[in-house]
Amino acid sequence: MRSIKNFQQEVREKVGGDFCGERSHWDASLEYIWISTLCRILIGIHRYQHGGAVLISDDSSHLKPKYSITYGRLADALIRAGVLSIENTSYDDAIFEQYVDKKADEIPVDLYLDEVVTGNELRDTEDELTGCVRFLASLSRVDGLIWLDSSLKLGAFGVEISVREDPDRAFLAQNPLGTRTNELNLNDYGMRHRSMLRYCGAYPESVGFIVSQDGNVRAVTKTDKGVSLWDNVQIKFSETITITRPKQKYRKISQHLYNG
């Protein structure tokens, strides 16, 4: 949530308070956009059926990269998608509430163009996000994990974790919040899982995901009890957030505007 709150704050600063205050759901919607992007990366890794791992951490200690590369395009596109979603919805709301719902004969050209331009830019940004997600997922085919910082900027891939000490206690989470747990025996898991448990145990603000060849996704982070593993995490998402609204009358006005 710390990473998501930073993302929400950056989007709010770029958009401005007036736009964000028009709808109460934007924090929840931005959280959904961020988590969905991460899910898409994990789904992409799963589709290769090679297995892989993703580590989210702002600390480079005990990480030995085979290939160091700074790639911030996904993080930048994610911010832009959040900003454009809010702006486009705001212009769309203004058109409907101030003109369409009031059965006005015309709408301001500048307002209409703002809605069209931000809508086109949002679709382009969504395509860009898809390309970024595919690129990052493809890096999982190299042995080692994919290392992202808390903004989802790539720091390296083919990374080996060099933490050698097992955590004092490890748990298997039995519910989403990790408040119900069972003791976990590290010997029941392979090197990929054990190294992630070691790292997350040593660096409490990190979060790790392991995608097995059989399709199972496991999440690892440190809780108040100790380092915990969530087994068989369900990853699913909807590619876009649909703002439902009767569009038929708006299309007629748009066509009339184009026809002059």
| In the block, residue with structure tokens 């090679």 | 50
CB count, 10 Å around CB of 259?
Answer: 6
Q: Is residue 136 part of a domain?
A: yes
CB count, 10 Å around CB of 211?
Answer: 28
**pTM across the whole model:** 0.85
Cα–Cα distance for residue pair 74/86, rounded to 1 Å: 19
Per-residue pLDDT tens for 48-87? 988 899 999 999 999 999 999 999 999 999 999 999 999 9
Helix then strand then coil, in percent of the chain rounded to 5, is 50, 20, 30
Q: Is residue 26 part of a domain?
A: yes
- How many domains does one find in the chain? 1
Q: Is residue 108 part of a domain?
A: yes
16 Rama sector, left if φ>0, alpha if ψ -120 to 50, beta otherwise: left
Q: Is residue 222 part of a domain?
A: no
Residues 6 or more apart whose CB falls under 8 angstroms from that of 145 comprise: 52, 53, 54, 55, 157, 159, 161, 192, 196, 208
Opening angle at CA 75, ends 73 and 76, nearest 5: 65
Q: Is residue 170 part of a domain?
A: no
Per-residue pLDDT tens for 155-205? 999 999 999 999 988 999 999 888 899 999 888 888 999 999 999 999 999
Q: How far is CA 220 from CA 142, 172, 178, 196, 225, in A?
A: 21, 9, 11, 7, 13
User: Using an 8 Å Cβ cutoff, are 116 and 255 in contact?
Assistant: no
Q: Is residue 22 part of a domain?
A: yes
| In the block, residue with structure tokens 């190294």 | 195
Domain enclosing residue 43, as ranges: 1-50+72-141
Per-residue pLDDT tens for 194-233? 999 999 999 999 999 999 987 789 999 998 888 999 998 8
User: Using an 8 Å Cβ cutoff, are 30 and 86 in contact?
Assistant: no
pLDDT band at 20 (very low <50, low <70, confident <90, very high): low
Res 3: pLDDT: 92
